[in-house]
Amino acid sequence: MGLIFIALGFFVYGPQLLIAVAAADFATKKAASAAVGLTGLSVQLATEMVFFMKTATNDSFVSHEETTFALPRNPLPGRFASKID
């Protein structure tokens, strides 16, 4: 079980570290921390956008029977309402 967590950490943290190192390398000394922060922010926003679109199209990662919380039935009223209901 411990080897699984080590492998997961390696495959998740490794690319994240490489992206941060590349951003810091391309930026100047004064802008290095801002460049690393912006790469982290863009990854976080992209992750949130993918999760929102997956739940908005009712194609969630986990089936609704397995969740312990209620997802909103119609998070996007208007144009996308017919696709959800």
- pLDDT band for position 5 (cuts 50, 70, 90): confident
- Domain residues of the chain, as ranges? 2-84
Helix axes 32-56 and 2-26, enclosed angle (nearest 10): 130
Identify the pLDDT of residue 77: 59
Is pLDDT above 80 for 71?
A: no
Identify the pLDDT of residue 48: 86
**pTM of the predicted protein model:** 0.50
Mean pLDDT across 4-27: 87
| Gap between the Cα atoms of 79 and 67, Å rounded | 27
| Gap between the Cα atoms of 31 and 34, Å rounded | 5
